[in-house]
A and B are shown apart, each in its own frame.
Chain A
Amino acid sequence: MSGALLEARGLALAFGGVRAADGVDLEVAPGEILAIIGPNGAGKTTFLNMVTGYLRPQAGSIRFAGREIAGLPPRRIVRLGIARSFQIPQLFAEHRVIENVALHLAARDGFWAPFRPLLSPARRSEALAILDDLELAPLAEARADTLDEGARKLVDIAMALALRPRLLLMDEPTSGVAASEKHAIMDRLVAALRRASVTAVFVEHDMEVVARHADRVAVWSQGRIRAEGPPEAVLADPLVRREVIGVEGAPC
């Protein structure tokens, strides 16, 4: 199908004997928000790593907006419009939160202007606006290595958002975020994504979050996609419930 923004075909990657990707086929339509679920070690992160160029698939193809990107280095892929956040936040620990975001804003334009400050007034306010979307504005001046896990995850997402991507990949965006804040933050994040019509893929273990925010769900297991479809249908599938979610019986 040519209407897809992202189109993966037959992706395979093994680490020694472990098949982290074993024939992955997936399409993501423009504007949709897709959740990836699956047990630990299923290959979810590996999929994101292949799409973003961190790992090179041993077989298969990845097309983004019709263009083959498998095997390109991360830097090139980012420039095509794919940004990501990480399961383990990857922050510049000795910089302040606002600088972490501003470096990503600068990465889009003006990075090499040698005598313009990173925190120009324009960049500062743009960074603050992004932080505000994730309710992080009060932390703007804090050093990244002083944050708690939940805040680090969200700053990591803010950095990816600052790149203004067409496609945003998020690896467990709310793990580590306090349960009481999870939904509020996801509401704001998803609203911001829809407003900017950013296509998004997120890996998630919390089925409530999936049910509430995803347009579609793909179920990963042992390097393959086992099921795919609207959340209500997929999450109700007894097989998925038993093998992936680890719950017996009917949905509550």
Chain B
Amino acid sequence: MRRLLPVAAAVGLLLLLAGLQPWLRFVLTIALSTGLAVLGIAMLLRAGQVSFGHALYVAAGAYAVAFARPHTGEGLLLLLLAGLVATGLGLLVGLFVTRYRDIFFGMLNLAFSMVGWSLLEKLYGLTRGTDGIRVARPTLLGFALEGAAWEWALFSAALAAALLAGALVASYLRSPAGEALGAIKTRETRLEFAGISARRVLLQAYVVSATLAGLGGAIGALATLHVTPLLAYWTHSGELVFVAILGGTGNVLGPFLGAVVFELVRVHAAAAFPDAWQMILGLVLLAIVLAAARGLVGLLDDLAVRLGWRG
């Protein structure tokens, strides 16, 4: 029960914010979609692995929506499809990259995402290059919605997806295969001597992380109704890693907390410093990593302890 308290508080706060201003509804929908992708990154970080290329799966989900939209009008079907496409791609790439760790794992993911980005830019006939593809607004559960109703519906769908994914991932991380991720980080060979394939452990998490990223990308595509190759660009992958570290990886709330703060700050800051945004992210990332801080979740945790809410 005590575990559910922070979740309930977070949901209440999000609903309150979303009710405050229409633009907040949009930003929070985007934040939840980012949070889904970051949740996957956080799983991999448990295994001590960092992917610099997960924007590839976000883009895969988003483009799946864009390509499928002319053929179907139902939004939930589009989400499902996007999840499947990202899962398939994740399995394909994952079979290769999970043979590697550390530097290779990070850089191979970056390389694959840059190949994906180039293809999205170059295959103009298919993807319309840097112009990207506009997505017509679909129905949700058969309802054709407009204006605030659509925004609320999509926001609710994103929130539901986040809650479901958070709950499933939290439970997965407590299962043997989830706990084994931490064992990959500390002593992978011993897993093999327990009769467990470390690669399979990592592959499973990798595929899940691709699914989550694809779902996030699809929700983002439905919110913006426009997809471009930039979704797959390395700076976007970098942002996902940044948010994972910002939020903290100790708890599944971290990715969503990090994403909400990140998107809220970005609305103002990225416009104010368009050419220095990456630099600011880089500096903050350095500060968090070098100070060995546990991110926002860690901060809240310390606060809770200080206030005597937790022992």
Direct touch of chains A and B (CB < 8 A): yes
Interface residues, chain A, with chain B CB atoms under 8 Å away: 52, 54, 73-75, 78-79, 83-84, 90-95, 99, 102-104, 106-108, 110-119, 159, 163
A-B pair number, CB within 8 angstroms: 87
Q: Which residue of A lies closest to B198 (CB)?
A: A75
B192 near A75: Cβ-Cβ < 8 Å: yes
Task: Tell me the smallest distance from the CB of B292 to a CB of chain A, in Å.
Answer: 14
Distance to closest chain B CB from A133 (angstroms): 18
Stretch from B127-135, B136-144, B180-188, B239-247 forming part of the interface with A: B180-188
User: A107 CA to B183 CA in the complex, in Å?
Assistant: 13
A92 lies within 8 A of B186 (CB): yes
- Docked pose: A79 CA to B196 CA in angstroms: 9
User: Given known contacts A107-B195, A107-B196, A114-B172, what 19 new A-B pairs fall within 8 Å (CB)?
Assistant: A52-B193, A74-B189, A74-B193, A75-B196, A78-B193, A78-B194, A83-B193, A91-B190, A92-B187, A93-B186, A95-B182, A103-B179, A103-B180, A103-B183, A107-B194, A112-B176, A116-B176, A117-B174, A159-B190
Q: Is the CB of A118 within 8 A of B189?
A: no
In the complex where A93-B186, A95-B186 touch, is A159 in contact with B194 (Cβ < 8 A)?
yes
If A90-B190, A110-B176, A117-B174 touch, does A95 touch B183 (CB 8 Å cutoff)?
yes
B175 x A117 contact (CB < 8 A) = yes
> Which residues of B have CB within 8 Å of A95?
179, 182-183, 186
Alpha-carbon distance A55/B187, docked complex (angstroms): 18
Whether B194 pairs with A113 at a CB distance below 8 angstroms is: no
In angstroms, Cα B175 to Cα A118, docked, is: 5
Interface presence of B156 (CB below 8 A): no
In the assembled complex, which residues on chain B have CB atoms less than 8 Å from the CB atom of A84? 193
What 8 A-B pairs have minimum CB-CB distances, sorted nearest first?
A106-B176, A78-B195, A107-B194, A90-B190, A92-B183, A93-B186, A117-B174, A118-B179
Q: From residue A163, how far is it (CB to closest CB) to chain B in Å?
A: 7
B189: which A residues are within 8 A, CB to CB?
Answer: 54, 74, 90
Q: How far is the CB of A112 from chain B (nearest CB, A)?
A: 6
Q: Inside 8 A of A79's CB, which chain B residues have their CB?
A: 195
Residue of chain B at shortest CB distance from A108: B195
Check if B197 is an interface residue, CB within 8 A of chain A: yes
Of all chain A residues, which has the CB nearest B171? A115
| A94 to B182 alpha-carbon distance, docked (Å) | 7
Query: 8 A-B contacts, Cβ less than 8 Å apart?
Result: A92-B190, A94-B182, A104-B194, A107-B196, A115-B168, A115-B172, A117-B171, A159-B194
- Taking the complex as formed, is B177 at the interface, i.e. its CB lies under 8 A from any CB of chain A? yes
Residues on B with beta carbons closer than 8 Å to the beta carbon of A116: 175-176
- Tell me whether chain B's interface is mostly helix, strand or loop, or mixed: helix
CB neighbours of B195 from chain A (8 A): 75, 78-79, 107-108, 163
Chain A: minimal CB distance from B153 (Å): 29
A73 partner residues in chain B, CB cutoff 8 A: 192
Which A residues touch B197, using CB under 8 A? 75
Which residue in A99, A103, A112, A117 is a CB contact (below 8 Å) of B194? Answer: A103
Max count, chain A CB within 10 A of own CB: residue among B178, B183, B189, B197: B183
Residues of B within 8 A of A103 (CB): 176, 179-180, 183, 191, 194
Contacting residues, chain A, for B174 (C-beta < 8 A): 117-119
Residues of A within 8 A of B179 (CB): 95, 99, 103, 118
| Smallest Cβ-Cβ distance to B179: which chain A residue | A118
Q: How far is the CB of A68 from chain B (nearest CB, A)?
A: 19
* Residues from chain A with Cβ under 8 Å of B180 in the complex: 103, 111
